[in-house]
Structure 1
Amino acid sequence: MKIHTEDRKLGDAADGTMRLGQSFQRAEGALKVNGAATYAQDYVLENTVHAVLVQATIGAGEVLSIDATAANSRPGVLLIMTAETIEPLSPATDPVGGPMRTEPYNPLARTVLYHGQQIAAVVAETREQAEEAATLLAITYRESDVTADFHAANAGAGIAVARADLDWGDAQGAFDAAEIKIEQTYQTPREYNVPLEPHAVVADWQGDQLTIHEPSQWVDGMARTYAEWFGLPFEKVRLISPYVGGGFGCKVFAMPHGAIAAMAARAIGRPVKLAVTRAQTFTAFGGRAATWQTLKLGADKTGKLVSIIQTGASETAMDSVRLEQLNQATAVMWGVDNFHSRQNAVPVHTVFPGALRAPGKNPSAFGLECAMDELAYATNINPLQLRLINEAEKNPQTGEPWSSRKMRDALAEGARAFGWDRRPMAPRSMRNGHELIGWGLACGTFPARHTPAEATIRILADGSAEVLSSAIDMGTGTYTVLAQVAADALGIAIDDITVRLGDSILPRAPIAGNSQIASLMAGVVHKASIAAKERLIEIALTAKGSAFAGLQANTLEVRDGRVSSAMAPQETIPVYEILRSTGTEIIEVTRDTFPTDVSAADRYRSYTTTTGMQAPPNGGYSVYSWCAHFIEVRVDEDFGTVRVCRVVSALDCGRLYNPKLSESQWRGGIIMGIGQALLEAGNVDPRNGRVINNSLGDYLIATNADIPSIETISVGVPDYRASEMGGKPVGEISIVGVAAAISNAVFHATGKRFRRLPLNIAEILD
């Protein structure tokens, strides 16, 4: 048969069955390796034309004029778009639940708020023609003073954000009375998502129906934004994203380039493809904001924490506030009776910051876990023992018990596998020739979130089954896990399961973010699969002439695509025969995980905004994943270079639906953490805020040559307070704490503290 990349079957299992919890290769892996997976830029529609973005070359000011005379004279040019030549769109709902803007939305700027902001677009028959014409636009600016980053003299202290404040106990009083005190400042730079697949949009209008091909972590949320921009009913927008070449948080929301492509397609009456270049991705959307935090840790002589005081700031855009919330890990990692946290947002001339793997939790853990290592040396207590001393028996912020917390197990198992008991306490006590060797430890956490969703299961007349959902798979394994869930619940072989994802016409799913998508979709697919199987059994019991007539439903079993009963062992009938014999073409069941009394409006808000994303409904328990990283580094004494040469990480993520995929996610997070610690930093020109290193040649990320042996250990157990199927967050937890473990290991190797990322060779040699 003809196989489409977005709905192809998942492949053969070795024995025709699949059980949740087994390791299985990613179902779409072969398609991606063979180049058959269809990404947004791969869609070629008839009569497609091409748009390119033109970005501001000043950091702040006004666009006075754009002379397009020369550009319009070039062959193939169809349209020049500027803020003056396009009609603004309607405002869209804030996707995170804030108040809706009232002013019209124009994706092309007159007032420039950062270097690289979109100010024009050129549409032509070919991309090359559009690119040439774009260089011919004569742009006149009025420049204003620039605040390049929060280190700039004109940056100021920022805006206090009260919603981020946390207080319990008497933190200042306890710190003043503490026997041991630590006070240090820790900094992280701007970091960028740089997914392998850059952003792209193919927009096509057919009458008042808008179809968008775009990489998306949230097709329903993005479709809602497009619908509101263009004043369309939600059902008139179809957003298609079967494959996503990485996102890490940057492909969640509809963005200006998407609006520009759709506006151009409507104006010209032809499909428009707009591909954001690699250099443009550094300002077409925001990555992790730069942060600083000052931590005061007070403890008694036994190492027991008595107080944590945290003050800090993160950069934000000039026209809107977003926090990289620095107390996300600090407030829950270790037991402390007195806590105080305040954070400011500092407006600078930058694109609005976005989410990057483990937002908030990552820089939060960097500061806390470095400070804990400093406390260990101030008290002369082994860093592992210090953490055991401060183990939190309940959530220190809320007082709630943990749904599960295997931190002690993570520390014990990780230490055993790493050989931590052989670590000398003194810095600079391990070497191999000119290399100083250091061993570092840090821990991390990530909260569980849950949003209602829906899914459809179809059992077809040939005995195969389909799983339908608008949930997406950005390489994390959603296709595979949902096939496993359905095969297990339906009793149908994995090679007879088709999974269709990433299309807004399918049953609704929320954002693939906060590491929630696998657990919430596994739960709803299991629920729908059980209901579909019950309907199949009902047909088997009631069909005229059925061999199972008169038996109880609970005596029938569906296994390996056949229906049988212990009460009639001589009968075992293929599913397809039961359906065909009764003239049943299809069994279709849709289920959701909404409360039974939820309104249609609340359903819509839940899957198109993040307002429905809450802690799991678990009866007063706090639900988190946990991890402990043990890392060995080698520091070249002559050149100051740092090489991570061994990683052992133990993680508590509850039940693992597919251990192979979970390990892949853990390794990916650890690798990103290595890059964060040693390589990654967005550098800006202080004169105009321009991102200087806006390429993968200059913005350095970890490559194979940087990656050592990585061992991951699961210490989790099924946690049914966390999710219906017992899983907890997997995708983001493993980056949390990696940079701190590396920094601590470098101190152990060199005797020098490094409190700013990435670690600097010059400081190591100093």
Structure 2
Amino acid sequence: MSKIVGKSVDRVDGRLKVTGEAAYTADMPIENLTYGVVFQTTIANGKVIQIDTSAAATAPGVIDIITYKQTPSLIKVPFFSPGKTQPTKKDDNIYYNGQHLGIVVAQTLEQAQTAADLIKIISEAAPPTTTLAQAEIFEPETLNFGIMPGKITRGNIELGKAQADILVQEVYSTPMEHHNPLETSATIAMWEGDNLTLYETTQGISATQRAIASVLDIPQENVRVISKYLGGGFGCKALLRSHTILCAIAAKRVNRPVKVALERSQMYTSCGYRSQTQQHLTLGATKEGKLTVITHTGTSLTSQFEDFVEPVGAATTMMYACENLEVKYRLGRINAGTPTFMRGPGEATGMFALESAMDELAYALNIDPIELRLRNHADIDPHTGLPWSSKSLKQCYQKGAEIFGWSQRNPIPRSIQEGDFLIGWGMASATFPSNSGSASVKVEIFASGEVKVQTGTQDIGTGTYTVMSQVAAEALGLSVQFELGDSNYPKAPITGNSITVGSVSPAVHKAAIAARDRMIEMAIEDANSPLYQSQAKDITVESGQIFLKQNPSQRDNYTDILRRQGLASLEVTEQTSPNPESKNYSKHSFGAIFVEVAVDELLAEIKIRRCVGVYSVGRILNLKTARSQVVGGITWGIGMALMEKTVMDANQGRIVSANLSDYLIPVHADIPNIEVLFLEEEDAYVNALGTKSLGELPIVGVAAAISNAVYHATGKRIRDLPITPDKLL
């Protein structure tokens, strides 16, 4: 039984964070530092005629001003580009309001800001395209780097419709949304000769290293990327952004370190967003509740120069057993930056539509929503035909219903009232793929007793420092110092798509076990060791001691073993890759979310009163950080359902909610007690430790569960997020 792994261990970096000792990118104490401020367009469509920098150039403290005309060629794909990437501008066209045009470098931040305000951008404006109705719609052949086809069909759609006794055909929509991490994006760039060091707010240090080297046309080994602490990312820090490129170029030109820290308002135009979606969804079923057809057409928006699709049908293809299915995508170009990944990309938005439609179908058939889902439970992945590596969704429904008291639910809308409040109950399913990548880890045991474990992953606030420390400590039998966030460390994948634990923890475990076994081997081969000529299988480790299981008094320790060998340390590096056998299985995490709402009948104000989330995510490595992920995801789902929306001025193409006053997100008063339960689940195929994706799963289904609860409370079905009082009145 695990002594450390799986327990509710406090964050190992918690004290550093609450005392302010944890140095985030913009906090790094760099000598001789200068400050860069990016200047941007103020119109959404047109052409730059002239950039007048004369007043700015003579302003106090200004060291250099760089415009897009002075940047090197950026033809090379920087990283994860689906098309005609323009990290910074290389032509005179203006594609969106807030597009980066250059950078001012000065001795102080205030001087750089003042100089940036003095720059005059003379431009020729044209009417922008800002809405879905204005956009020219097309159907992409593939999605986002070719990872998915633009259309998926199985069975016979017309036959499926003909077989249906009931058809639900509705349109669901979600707005443009922004990530709003607590920490805004920042970069510090410094050169030593031809070598570049970047302190960067990134979810992928190795990916950023590759990307910036490609853009600047320098060897990858000449770039070092450091990101020790990250104040959230959620997708907006996954890709290389133009402020980082400009910062690196500026540092080279001024021959001093340069820091660029985006303002909160700049985050809305510089780091991507979740696209608005319009989703046409059809569900057909027999009167017994068996699905005969599913069609899901998702329309989302993208920039004028790049194709990025919000994959709303990703979960639709595999969620329910249905022989006849069609999922297809449409894109419209507007004058805005390119959308990007945002927590639960595709699943969060698409499952709002699918799970709302399932609730509508349940009412049309007079079948309990859980029972309808059980009747259409997919025993194998209907999209691939593969068996699940593990799946406990039925148990999630059962346990969630039991905890929530679902059996007491009166399904009739408006049937529960408490004073002026209408009470409603709703539920929805959740799913997210469990993927992994290759990762390498170095373990070094020192004769001093210290142990360092290093890998080039990132901790974006999820608890990676803590979880990996637990895995290594349990394998080695003593505390470790876990280090990450440096591209000089062994390579690990980007922190995104919920793959970090599934990718890195097996490598940490493998490297730690290899180091432990090497120490045991050294002991049993050493005539001066108390364990000389013992059998490795008879030996265990604990609290830094290596001893015989049947005779604990016969023991040695790491420090003495190394000193007798005359070694200052022992170093082991190991790599793990996805299990080849896992290709024969469909790997997903699942869950069920139950919500109770109270709607003020007079004011149409919605209060979330209860949330119960039950999840099957394989092996849990840290119960406390896992629960924290779920609480955060459900909180975000509440925001998505009730308040989050980016507002753009349709005439000017300018985001008018580019701050945390106008872009509404939940606060403590909006969030009820959230009850979280993880089911025990073993998965022998997903990875060596049996862990499955968790980070993005909890946001999925929450908006649908709330929407379904609002319908149960009021009898009004809101298919357009967010659900605001005006839509209920």
> What TM bracket, shorter-length normalisation?
over 0.9
- Residue in 2 aligned with 1:65? 50
Q: Is 1:157 aligned with 2:140? A: no
CA contact (8 A) 1:329 1:444 kept: no
Q: Is 1:710 aligned with 2:657? A: no
* Aligned counterpart for 2:111 among listed residues 104, 129, 153: 129
Superposed, 1:410-421 pairs within 5 Å as 410-421=396-407
Tell me, in whole angstroms, the C-alpha distance in 2 between the residues paired with 1:617 and 1:82: 51
CA contact (8 A) 2:540 2:547 kept: yes
Alignment CA distance shift 1:21-1:168 (3 Å): same
Q: Secondary structure at the match of 1:332?
A: helix
Tell me, in whole angstroms, the C-alpha distance in 2 between the residues paired with 1:91 and 1:661: 42
Runs (4+) of structure 1 exceeding 6 A deviation are: none
Q: Secondary structure at the match of 2:317?
A: coil
Q: Secondary structure at the match of 1:449?
A: coil
Tell me, in whole angstroms, the C-alpha distance in 2 between the residues paired with 1:446 and 1:313: 21
CA contact (8 A) 1:752 1:764 kept: yes
* Aligned counterpart for 1:377 among listed residues 324, 345, 363: 363
- Residue in 1 aligned with 2:567? 584
**Superposition deviation, residue 95 in structure 1:** 2.7
CA contact (8 A) 1:91 1:105 kept: no
**Superposition deviation, residue 518 in structure 1:** 0.9
Tell me, in whole angstroms, the C-alpha distance in 2 between the residues paired with 1:682 and 1:219: 29
- Residue in 1 aligned with 2:289? 303
CA contact (8 A) 1:149 1:689 kept: no
CA contact (8 A) 1:304 1:390 kept: yes
**Superposition deviation, residue 109 in structure 1:** 6.0
* Aligned counterpart for 2:28 among listed residues 43, 46, 67: 43
Q: Is 1:87 aligned with 2:51? A: no
Tell me, in whole angstroms, the C-alpha distance in 2 between the residues paired with 1:519 and 1:27: 20
Alignment CA distance shift 1:105-1:389 (3 Å): closer
Q: Is 1:350 aligned with 2:314? A: no
Query: Which runs of 5 or more residues in structure 2 are unaligned?
Result: 143-148
Superposed, 1:419-430 pairs within 5 Å as 419-430=405-416
**Superposition deviation, residue 91 in structure 1:** 3.6
Per-residue CA distance 1:25-71 (angstroms, 9 max, x = gap): 11111111111111000013111111111111101111100111111
**Superposition deviation, residue 540 in structure 1:** 0.4
- Residue in 2 aligned with 1:96? 80
Q: Is 1:459 aligned with 2:439? A: no
- Residue in 2 aligned with 1:653? 617
- Residue in 1 aligned with 2:584? 620
Tell me, in whole angstroms, the C-alpha distance in 2 between the residues paired with 1:566 and 1:450: 35
- Residue in 1 aligned with 2:417? 431
Opposite residue 241 of structure 1, the aligned amino acid is: S
- Residue in 2 aligned with 1:8? none
Alignment CA distance shift 1:570-1:751 (3 Å): closer
CA contact (8 A) 2:71 2:249 kept: no
Q: Is 1:198 aligned with 2:198? A: no
Tell me, in whole angstroms, the C-alpha distance in 2 between the residues paired with 1:731 and 1:343: 26
Alignment CA distance shift 1:105-1:520 (3 Å): closer
**Superposition deviation, residue 98 in structure 1:** 5.8
Tell me, in whole angstroms, the C-alpha distance in 1 between the residues paired with 2:329 and 2:670: 34
CA contact (8 A) 1:448 1:616 kept: no
**Superposition deviation, residue 106 in structure 1:** 4.1
- Residue in 2 aligned with 1:317? 303
- Residue in 2 aligned with 1:144? 126
Q: TM-score, normalised by structure 2?
A: 0.97
**Superposition deviation, residue 585 in structure 1:** 1.2
Moved more, 115-124 or 368-377: 115-124
Moved more, 75-84 or 615-624: 615-624
Q: Is 1:287 aligned with 2:273? A: yes
Opposite residue 78 of structure 1, the aligned amino acid is: I
**Superposition deviation, residue 760 in structure 1:** 2.5
CA contact (8 A) 1:115 1:350 kept: yes
Q: Secondary structure at the match of 1:279?
A: helix
- Residue in 1 aligned with 2:11? 26
- Residue in 2 aligned with 1:12? none
CA contact (8 A) 2:41 2:121 kept: no
Alignment CA distance shift 1:179-1:567 (3 Å): closer
* Aligned counterpart for 1:52 among listed residues 37, 42, 51: 37
* Aligned counterpart for 2:529 among listed residues 546, 550, 557: 546
Tell me, in whole angstroms, the C-alpha distance in 1 between the residues paired with 2:179 and 2:371: 35
CA contact (8 A) 2:234 2:343 kept: yes
- Residue in 1 aligned with 2:472? 486
CA contact (8 A) 2:312 2:346 kept: yes
**Superposition deviation, residue 745 in structure 1:** 0.4
CA contact (8 A) 2:296 2:326 kept: yes
Alignment CA distance shift 1:615-1:577 (3 Å): closer
Q: Secondary structure at the match of 2:473?
A: helix
Q: Secondary structure at the match of 1:744?
A: helix
Tell me, in whole angstroms, the C-alpha distance in 1 between the residues paired with 2:579 and 2:286: 34
CA contact (8 A) 1:407 1:628 kept: yes
Q: Is 1:468 aligned with 2:450? A: no
Opposite residue 634 of structure 2, the aligned amino acid is: I
**Superposition deviation, residue 150 in structure 1:** 1.2
CA contact (8 A) 2:493 2:503 kept: no
Q: Secondary structure at the match of 2:168?
A: strand
Tell me, in whole angstroms, the C-alpha distance in 1 between the residues paired with 2:580 and 2:501: 14
Tell me, in whole angstroms, the C-alpha distance in 1 between the residues paired with 2:716 and 2:278: 20
* Aligned counterpart for 2:101 among listed residues 119, 128, 137: 119
Tell me, in whole angstroms, the C-alpha distance in 2 between the residues paired with 1:476 and 1:48: 30
**Superposition deviation, residue 538 in structure 1:** 1.2
Tell me, in whole angstroms, the C-alpha distance in 1 between the residues paired with 2:359 and 2:575: 46
Moved more, 413-422 or 170-179: 170-179
- Residue in 2 aligned with 1:249? 235
Tell me, in whole angstroms, the C-alpha distance in 2 between the residues paired with 1:533 and 1:202: 38
Q: Secondary structure at the match of 1:634?
A: strand
- Residue in 2 aligned with 1:502? 485
CA contact (8 A) 2:315 2:347 kept: yes
Alignment CA distance shift 1:53-1:511 (3 Å): same
Tell me, in whole angstroms, the C-alpha distance in 1 between the residues paired with 2:606 and 2:87: 47
CA contact (8 A) 1:747 1:753 kept: yes
CA contact (8 A) 1:297 1:371 kept: yes
* Aligned counterpart for 1:593 among listed residues 548, 565, 576: 576
Opposite residue 80 of structure 2, the aligned amino acid is: V
Per-residue CA distance 1:131-179 (angstroms, 9 max, x = gap): 1111111211111221102133xx1333333523111111222113310
CA contact (8 A) 1:651 1:716 kept: no
CA contact (8 A) 1:616 1:721 kept: no
Q: Secondary structure at the match of 1:549?
A: coil
Opposite residue 563 of structure 1, the aligned amino acid is: I
Q: Secondary structure at the match of 2:648?
A: coil
CA RMSD of aligned residues (A): 1.6
Alignment CA distance shift 1:71-1:201 (3 Å): same
Q: Secondary structure at the match of 1:664?
A: helix
- Residue in 1 aligned with 2:697? 733
Aligned length: 722
Per-residue CA distance 1:595-646 (angstroms, 9 max, x = gap): xxxxxxxxxxxxxxxxxxx897415111100011100111111111111111
Per-residue CA distance 1:637-669 (angstroms, 9 max, x = gap): 111111111100111111101111100000000
Per-residue CA distance 1:417-473 (angstroms, 9 max, x = gap): 111111101000011100111000111100011111100011111223111001011
Per-residue CA distance 1:491-530 (angstroms, 9 max, x = gap): 12x3xx1011000000100111111101211101111111
- Residue in 2 aligned with 1:684? 648
Q: TM-score, normalised by structure 1?
A: 0.92
Q: Is 1:518 aligned with 2:482? A: no
Tell me, in whole angstroms, the C-alpha distance in 1 between the residues paired with 2:290 and 2:615: 24
**Superposition deviation, residue 299 in structure 1:** 0.1
Q: Is 1:440 aligned with 2:426? A: yes
**Superposition deviation, residue 566 in structure 1:** 4.3
Tell me, in whole angstroms, the C-alpha distance in 2 between the residues paired with 1:745 and 1:615: 41
- Residue in 1 aligned with 2:145? none
CA contact (8 A) 1:459 1:465 kept: yes
